[in-house]
Amino acid sequence: MISFWEVARRAETGPMMKESDFDMRISMTAMELAKEYEIKYDPSVYVSSDNTMADDVWRAGIELLLKCGVYNVSNKRVITFEEHEVKEALKHVVSEFEIGKGKDRIKIQARGVEDSKKSTIFSGPFGVETSLDVFVPLNQAFIQEPLVDVLFHGGHIQSICGVNTIRANSAFEVIAARVYAELMNQALILGGRPFMPIVWGVAAGVSSLNELGADSFMPKNPEDIFRAVMFLPELKLDDVLLSKTAHFMNYGYPLYAGTTPVIGGYAGDANTAAIVAVAEQIATFLVFGAVVNHIGPQHMRYRSQTNPASLWMNSVMGQAVARNSKLITTTSVTTAGRPGSMQMHLEAAAMAICSVVSGRNLLGPRPAQPLYPNHHNPLHARLFAEVAHAAIKLKREDANEIVAQLVATYKDTLDFDKSPKGKTFEQSYDVRTLKPTEENLSLYKEAKSKLIDLGLELA
């Protein structure tokens, strides 16, 4: 399989081109391939059952990657791949991976379409500005959710030492990263799962280089911690990301790699975005040799991932990858409805069902565009995980029917000015006992009841 060092070498020597030309090359090539393979988006379908389309999207995704490559925005060079390299790499995919220690050691697996294997649940207060006073209890509340298998990033510290909004690449960011490590340790111990696997940092945490500021105070051995490396949409990276990857490899961290193809952006419509997403899924594996390969099916207008186009794209892309490779994959679930709202529960359920029957593991849920500090609620993760585990009994056609009914409940309130605003962690939990408020618990039960009525077998 192609080595990271060979990829890094190509990043130094590949052909040069303008970034805007690369963006348009992706767009035009995806459109040509969609036409050639007759891949069309059907807005009436949320969970596709079309195996032929899934296989065509897979082939088109590989072609896109071979024709376009991956762009290094730092030096304007294109990293190119040959077909035999892609084929060879896919033979070396790790389809099972164990991580964590003791009772918290888990096995993460590649999943197939309509697979009866449970989805691994990655969750946590990721991407949300978190104040110091609730950082530990908020993470602890996620850690104490037994169905959360992997803690995904502890939220990012917004202010410290009297600095209200920490600036990227400032000294305070290094301090925040160090404090983050300290508090994550505390949360894991207090939560009773000191060796729970975690995904340490993502781009929404601290800037890439300052993330390394906490490395010597990491809670456990490198092999128990996923480090996150994310492409820029579409099929782009930079020198900092390559450098960070080299560092992670030097110290033996397993990698969690991904990207967020943007429907409506250079990826185009849902059909072309599915092709781009497959190319990106393969590319993150080729470039990083990642254990887990992630896609967030982002949408330019909604900026959330549970809209009809993102659902369809995720199902088609997911099935393409699941039917044709043994890659371990995740899909993220970003909702327009905010924590403490019925809409967030139902949106998260829709994407969970769509993803699970399409061969994915799951990350989420989290509110989209996290504008408000401490807006997270671990009860959403609980129901999300329960739905994911119930969905392994569904066929794609059944899943589509349930998802259609769920989408009908929220499709008119996906825009941010219409979606429910939600509550902070402190408003949803007793921060001392870490018990959800009665109101929060009632909402969870009501949402669960609605999902049972739709046909999900929830305990």
Partner 1 sequence: MHMSKEEILKELREGVLNYDEERVKKAAMRALEEGIDPFLAIKEGLTPAINEIGKKFERMEIFLPQLTIAAKAMEAGVAILEPALDKSQGEKVKLGKVVIGTVQGDIHSIGKNIVATMLRAAGFEVIDLGVDVAVDKFLEAAERAKADIIAASALMSFTKVMQRDLVEYLKSVGARDKYKLMVGGGPVNEEWAREIGADGYAEDAIKAVKVAKELLGLK
Q: Note the residues at the interface with partner 1 (CB under 8 A).
A: 19, 23-24, 27-28, 31, 73, 129, 156, 158, 165-169, 173, 203-204, 206-207, 232-233, 238, 262-269, 300-301, 303, 369-371, 416
What is the closest distance, in whole angstroms, from the C-beta atom of residue 256 to partner 1 in the complex? 19
- Read off the DSSP letter of residue 163: B
Q: CA-CA distances (angstroms) from residue 395 to 42, 115, 336, 459?
A: 19, 9, 27, 19
CA–CA separation, 6 and 13 (whole Å): 10
Question: Contact 402/456 with Cβ under 8 angstroms?
Answer: yes
Smallest distance, partner 1 to C-beta of residue 371, A:
5
Name which of 64 and 385 has its Cβ closer to partner 1. 64
For partner 1, the closer of residues 220 and 303 by Cβ is: 303
Ranges of beta strands (E only) in 34-149 are 70-72, 77-79, 96-99, 106-109, 121-123, 129-130
Phi/psi of residue 439, each to 5°?
-60, -40
Is 57 or 388 the residue whose CB approaches partner 1 more closely? 57
- CA–CA dist 10, 81 (Å, integer): 9
In the bound state with partner 1, the residue whose beta carbon lies nearer, of 203 and 342, is 203
Closest CA to 380 of 452, 418, 414, 429: 429
Q: Which residue, 150 or 206, has its beta carbon nearer to partner 1?
A: 206
Whether residue 363 contacts residue 330, with contact meaning beta carbons closer than 8 Å, is answered with yes
- Give min distance, CB of 40 to partner 1, in A: 15
Q: What residue type is assigned to position 221 of the chain?
A: N
Cα distances (Å, whole numbers) of residue 162 to 97, 134, 135, 254, 354: 42, 17, 17, 35, 44
Q: Which is nearer to partner 1, 110 or 414 (CB)?
A: 414
Please, what is the minimum distance in Å from the beta carbon of residue 59 to partner 1? 22
- What is the rounded distance in angstroms from the CA atom of residue 228 to the CA atom of residue 246? 12
Structure tokens at 301: 């207008």
Contact of 321 with 285, CB cutoff 8 Å: no
Q: Which is nearer to partner 1, 61 or 127 (CB)?
A: 127
CB of 109 to partner 1, least distance (A): 32
Nearer Cβ to partner 1, position 274 or 399?
A: 274
- Least distance between partner 1 and beta carbon 142 (Å): 19
Q: Which of 13/369 has CB closer to partner 1?
A: 369
The token pair that represents 414 in the structure block: 């996906």
With helix as H, strand as E and coil as C, how does 297-342 read?
Answer: CEECCCCCCCCHHHHHHHHHHHHHHHHHCCCEEEEEEEECCCCCCH
What minimum distance in Å lies between the beta carbon of 169 and partner 1?
5
Please give the radius of gyration of the chain, using alpha carbons only, rounded to the nearest integer. Answer: 21
Q: Give least dist CB 456 to partner 1, A.
A: 30
Exposure string (b/e) for 122-136, b if CB count within 10 Å is 16 or more? bbbbbbbbbbeebbb
Taking the complex as a whole, how short is the minimal distance between the CB of residue 80 and partner 1, in angstroms?
22
Helix/strand number for the chain, H first, E second? 15, 19
Q: Which is nearer to partner 1, 143 or 270 (CB)?
A: 270
CB of 287 to partner 1, least distance (A): 17
Written as six digits, the tokens of 138 are 């908020």
